[in-house]
Structure 1
Amino acid sequence: MQDINTKLRAIPKVDECLRRLESHSQLDHIPLMQKTYAIRNYLQSLRQRLLADDPCPELGKGEAHFTQGLVGYVLSSDKPRFQRVVNGSGVIIHTNMGRSLLPQITVDMLANAAKWYSNLEFDLKTGKRGSRYSHVEDLICLITGAEAALVVNNNAAAVLIVLETLAKQREVIVSRGQLVEIGGSFRIPEVMERSGAKLVEVGATNRTHLRDYEIAINERTGALLRVHCSNYRIVGFTKEVSNEELVALGHQHSLPVIEDLGSGCFVDLKQFGLEHEPTVQEVVKSGVDVITFSGDKLLGGPQAGIILGKKTYIEKIKRNPLNRALRIDKFTLAALESVLRLYRDEERAFQLIPTLAMIADPLESLASKAEVCIAALKQSGLSGCRFQVVDSYARVGGGAMPEQSLASKAVAFTPDCMGLVEFEKQLRGRAIPIIGRIENRQLLIDMRTIQEDEISLVVQAIFEICSGVVNEREGLWGNIKRV
């Protein structure tokens, strides 16, 4: 205990730490407030470690060693928490890494929305206040064939406002096998409860028949709900009621049929070896009254919840006071409009929307990227790490197509200079973190989710981690590209 007390007394005061940092010019750009905050956190962490029987060797190696550790901590504390990463995981729509990448044309639109005033809610023809939704509603209807549309801030919000508008204090019938939970513990039953609607489950987990819905309908029924199971599959002895059957039943009883489509897709992806995912256009054509889906998954746009369908229902939803709380801002509008405009030409959409381009990227192209990476690694003179091109698989991600994979190519690394876990950790610790996946005792960087201008970042990171030095050969790192 005496030794711990001695070490606790050896921890310098905040003012002393500030004095020691005065000679370190690399900290000059950091405000005093941030330095002081970081120092206090650092000193507190040392106290907690000592009290937990951690010897804290940095306290016993002299002032210079202590100050060096403090400088590193202060620099680290000043880094933005939100930062770019390189996605080498092979998961295209990676929820934890920001989901869909946006097209360059969308990035330019976002810059304009940020830098300049806009006609967000200003009608340029009349000179009076306009509707922000008018910027995208016509486009959505043009692409999907829907009568009307509305956009809110995400799909959970879309489901909430639809149910609150059309079925508050009433019963909503849904198949038991469709009561999904997605990331972040978002559960359909809980959203229904918050909306004021009462859930009525019908059928069994694996089989639901039309008669199950028919038996459940009564004077308290407000709607029939269908939830597309985009993030899991029930296989084997199964039965689902088709959209057309459910629509006919709903209309027979003057009940709206609502479908939460989840990911939502405007194009058929079967041509790339994936199973058929119902497109929004197909669901609209089936007669479903109200459809909701996400903007930042298979659509390849910004986070948004898109609501479309029959005009009579959409207009009611627009008038709901909740719409004010859930409305999208100018950045979402600018981004969504620019992405929707690309869908007017499917070929152009596949070329320019990164999510679609990565899904469509042929295996030969991925192999070419992998070989470019291998050639650059050899040119760098890398030692201490073995590497090779391997067959891999990628995932669409974002809760879509859970059982399906896309053939891919990856560069597999086997470090000899350190353990595999430490190697992966150091890649994550880069100024621009690089995220791969450990598989078969190798670290894989999947080429389906690596952009061409990111190959140089991967090569430089691998070289510097394995050599232990920062390489300044900008000519090498800056010129890695496919011929």
Structure 2
Amino acid sequence: MPAHPDHRRAIPGVDRLLARPWCHRLAESHGREWVTARLRAVLDQVRAGRHPLPASEDGYAELLRGEIAAAGTPSLLPAVNATGVILHTNLGRAPLAAEAREAMARAAGYGNLEFDLGTGDRGSRYVHCTDLVCELTGAEAALVVNNCAAAVALALTAYASGKGVAVSHGELVEIGGGFRIPEVVEAAGARLVTVGTTNRTRLADYARAIASDEVGAILKVHRSNFSMTGFTEDAGLDELVALGAETGVPVIHDLGSGLLANSDQLGLPDEPTPAMSVAAGVELVVFSGDKLLGGPQAGILAGTGAGVALAKAHPLCRALRCDKVTLAGLEATLALYRDRDRAMRRIPVLHMIGATVDGLEGRARALAERVAGQRADRGAAPLAAVVSRGRSVVGGGTFPDARLATAVLEVDAGDAAERWMAALRAHDPPVVARSRQGRILLDLRTIAPDEEEAVVAALASLEGAG
């Protein structure tokens, strides 16, 4: 019997294809060396059977263009958050205010990051944002590093490296990514000293730990990502500060969430703020820039001048410092809080939390009508879509018990739900929604008004409806 022909023998060589006019044009546009590498990748895929063998040499043009487009697509893409989770960690947490985005774009070039324009001498990046943090929290001094966990690690390293850190057993929390407070303490070169029990920790428990062990700091951790009810007891922040003053042990408050607005104004349960921690007299309060504050990723330390100076002087501070773009975005976000009403309007996180369900429902109905109109114009079958009430969450490890009444556009996808969800994610820009029992759920609370057109286009392009 004749041998089965090897299709790989029909694959042309790299040089032969590079000589084709279409390949020559691609090389001129993208660079010959890079296009050659992409062409080799295409040929490897054809040899491996991942692409069908083109009928002619010109058939490789389409494969190469696809390879170039895929390789040139950034890995980090903007997306529409239709999940109803406002601080969605996987989608980048807080979307930034327009003022923050503009400030970050301006800071992308040369600037006075570490240059004193008055004297012409070298300056310090640590002066940026600090006046605003102190103004808004009442702190004597402040320091900005690249995230909240880094800020906690820096504070503990500065105060308690080689010593103990007293933490309530009920505050040994786990944050996103599986990181836990005991691990952060260990990474700071400190020794964990747990006090009390899971549900009840008294001031006397801290006092005993300080008396019996070399404790360098008391760490009070805000349980922002879970709640505890029932037979519980906690030592108050004021009590801990008084104990610290008596024993010479500083109190560091890991607040995490970083709310600077009034929780009542947002319709949310009471939430401690950095200003409250500073007023209580803690040595340092630590909070995030990209959670409830609504800015870029950052960790902020605020408190006494001595506490901030000690953290700033530690060598670890340099390894954790922020870049100029982050500082610019954070400064612009903080400046909006000088007018709290303006902050509610301009900072997307606060605006989303404060949106009324009636307003969201009106937007959902208008969006559904636009989708129906576009599908009719395309000659596509209408979607089985209804507007219903649902519940949004704040997310980002904050307000674990809060549920915000919202309006949801429900699309009955049936057996096509998984395929349609994939199609929405593949849209440009991607639309990330939720699905439940064959229904696709799009929550208007986390869809910005200027993103509605993209959502309409994505829904209008779904195939196989009806």
1:449 pairs with one of 426, 446, 449: 446
2:84 pairs with one of 83, 87, 90: 90
- In structure 1, C-alpha distance between the alignment counterparts of 2:190 and 2:160, rounded to whole Å: 6
Instruction: Give the Å deviation of 1:366.
Output: 0.8
Residue in structure 1 matched with residue 119 of structure 2 by the alignment: 126
Instruction: Give the Å deviation of 1:7.
Output: 5.1
Give the CA RMSD over aligned residues: 2.7
- In structure 2, C-alpha distance between the alignment counterparts of 1:265 and 1:132, rounded to whole Å: 24
Residue in structure 2 matched with residue 317 of structure 1 by the alignment: 311
Cα distance per residue 1:101-137 (max 9 Å; x no partner): 111112221122124x322222233333322222311
1:429 pairs with one of 411, 426, 431: 426
- In structure 1, C-alpha distance between the alignment counterparts of 2:230 and 2:39, rounded to whole Å: 59
- In structure 1, C-alpha distance between the alignment counterparts of 2:381 and 2:291, rounded to whole Å: 40
Residue in structure 2 matched with residue 419 of structure 1 by the alignment: 416
Instruction: Give the Å deviation of 1:24.
Output: 10
Residue in structure 2 matched with residue 377 of structure 1 by the alignment: 371
Residue in structure 2 matched with residue 409 of structure 1 by the alignment: 407
> For the structure 1 residues 144 and 441, does the alpha-carbon distance in structure 2 shift closer, same or farther, using more than 3 Å as the test?
same
1:464-479 matches, cutoff 5 A: 464-466=461-463
- In structure 2, C-alpha distance between the alignment counterparts of 1:42 and 1:259, rounded to whole Å: 55
Instruction: Give the Å deviation of 1:232.
Output: 2.0
- In structure 1, C-alpha distance between the alignment counterparts of 2:106 and 2:191, rounded to whole Å: 44
2:35 partner letter: K
2:247 partner letter: H
> For the structure 1 residues 241 and 113, does the alpha-carbon distance in structure 2 shift closer, same or farther, using more than 3 Å as the test?
same
**More deviation, 352-361/184-193:** 184-193
Instruction: Give the Å deviation of 1:176.
Output: 1.5
- In structure 1, C-alpha distance between the alignment counterparts of 2:3 and 2:265, rounded to whole Å: 70
Matching of residue 194 in structure 1 with residue 191 in structure 2: no
> For the structure 1 residues 108 and 220, does the alpha-carbon distance in structure 2 shift closer, same or farther, using more than 3 Å as the test?
same
Instruction: Give the Å deviation of 1:197.
Output: 0.9
Instruction: Give the Å deviation of 1:59.
Output: 4.1
Cα distance per residue 1:252-300 (max 9 Å; x no partner): 1110001111111112223433221111111222222111111011000
Matching of residue 273 in structure 1 with residue 267 in structure 2: yes
Instruction: Give the Å deviation of 1:170.
Output: 0.6
**What SS class does the counterpart of residue 232 from structure 1 fall into?**
coil
1:231-380 matches, cutoff 5 A: 231-380=225-374
Residue in structure 2 matched with residue 148 of structure 1 by the alignment: 141
- In structure 2, C-alpha distance between the alignment counterparts of 1:256 and 1:280, rounded to whole Å: 16
Residue in structure 1 matched with residue 154 of structure 2 by the alignment: 161
> Any stretches of 5+ residues in structure 1 without a counterpart?
51-55, 469-483
> For the structure 1 residues 112 and 67, does the alpha-carbon distance in structure 2 shift closer, same or farther, using more than 3 Å as the test?
closer
Name the % identity: 43
* TM norm structure 2: 0.90
> For the structure 1 residues 190 and 19, does the alpha-carbon distance in structure 2 shift closer, same or farther, using more than 3 Å as the test?
farther
1:228 pairs with one of 219, 222, 228: 222
Residue in structure 1 matched with residue 177 of structure 2 by the alignment: 184
CA contact (8 A) 1:349 1:356 kept: yes
Residue in structure 2 matched with residue 399 of structure 1 by the alignment: 397
Instruction: Give the Å deviation of 1:347.
Output: 0.6
- In structure 2, C-alpha distance between the alignment counterparts of 1:299 and 1:350, rounded to whole Å: 11
> For the structure 1 residues 31 and 337, does the alpha-carbon distance in structure 2 shift closer, same or farther, using more than 3 Å as the test?
same
**What SS class does the counterpart of residue 130 from structure 1 fall into?**
coil
Instruction: Give the Å deviation of 1:34.
Output: 4.0
* TM norm structure 1: 0.87
Instruction: Give the Å deviation of 1:20.
Output: 7.0
Instruction: Give the Å deviation of 1:21.
Output: 8.8
1:200-215 matches, cutoff 5 A: 200-215=193-208
- In structure 2, C-alpha distance between the alignment counterparts of 1:295 and 1:179, rounded to whole Å: 22
1:388 partner letter: V
Instruction: Give the Å deviation of 1:338.
Output: 0.9
Instruction: Give the Å deviation of 1:198.
Output: 0.8
